[in-house]
Amino acid sequence: MRNSLHLISLWLMLLLILSCGGSGSKARAYLSEAGEALESGNYALAKMKIDSIKILFPEAFDEINAGFTLMQEIRLAENRRNISYCDSMLRVNYTALNELLNDFDYVRDSRYQEFGEYYPKIYPHRSSLDRNGLRSGVGEKGALFIESVLSDNAIQHNRIRVTAADGSYAESGRVTADGFNYRFSTLNRNYEIVRFTGSDENGVAAYIHAYRDQPLTLHFIGNRTVNTALSDAAKKGISLSFELSTLLLDIEQLKFEKERSEVLIRYLESRTDSLQQNYR
C-alpha cells in the first residue's frame, strides 16, 4: 500500500513539473512509457526509455528532470525486488544448511577462535592422524580448507596432487607459510601436515567432489613424492565440505546483497523525500 501511494505521489509531482514547461509530446510519451514499464516490473525497459529522453530530446529539460526522479523510483523497486529474492533464497538455503550440518561436528575453542569450524563426521578430524591422506573442514563463514597428513616420511612436502585413472588431475599451490605447513613428532611417529586454503587449495576439493565415485591417487610432493590411494571416507568428507562451503558462501553473499539493497533503499528514499518537499 505504501509503495502504491508513493507512486501516485510521484506521478502527481511529475505532472506538476511537466505542467510548468513546454516540452515536446514525444519526450512526454517516452516518459509515460517509462512509468508504465515501471508499474509492470520491466525495470530494464523503463531505464532505457528514460535514457532515450536524454539522447533524443536533449533540450526537453522538464522531461529529463522528471525522468531523473522516476529513475530513483525504478532503483527503489529494483532493490525491493532484490531483497525479496534474497529472502526467498535464504529460506531455501537455510533449510538445506540445517540438513547438511547433520553430517558435521562443530568445533570452536573460545580462547583462540572468534568463529568455529565444521568437520565432516565421516572422516573424524581427531583420528585422522592415524592414516596418510587428506582431511577437510569449513570455517563458519564458508572458507574451505584441506589438510594433507603424512607420517613417517620426511619429505618436507608442501603441495599435493590428486589424479584419476583417466589422466586428469588437480594440484594445489605450494604452501610454505608457518602455521599452514608444520611438522611435529610423537614418541612413535613423525608427522607433516600442510593446510591448503584459498588460492593454495586451487580447486582440489571441487575436483575430488566431481570424481568422488572413482578411484583417486594422492601424491605428497616435496623433496620426493609419496603416493597413496585416497580413501572413500576422505573423498566423501571432502565432497561434503565442498558442498557446505559452497552453501555457506552463497548464504553470505545473499546476506551481503540484501544488506546492500537495504542501504541503497534508505539512501534513495531520503533523496526522494527531499525532492518531494522541494515541490510542495
- DSSP codes of every residue in 157-190: --EEEEEETTS-EEE-----STTTEEEEE-SS-E
pLDDT at 277: 56
pTM over 0.75: yes
User: What band does 112 get if pLDDT is binned at 50, 70 and 90?
Assistant: confident
Residue % of the chain over a pLDDT of 70: 88
Q: Scan for cell 610454505, then name that residue.
A: 176
Most confident residue range from 129-138, 180-189, 211-220:
211-220
- Specify the pLDDT at position 8: 44
CATH number of this structure's domain 108-254, picked from the four choices 2.60.40, 3.40.50, 2.30.30, 3.90.79: 2.60.40
Q: Where are the domains of the chain?
A: 2-98, 108-254
3-class secondary structure, 119: strand
Predicted pLDDT of residue 55: 92
pLDDT digits (tens, 9 = 90+) for 16-64: 454 444 446 788 889 999 999 999 999 999 999 999 999 999 988 888 9
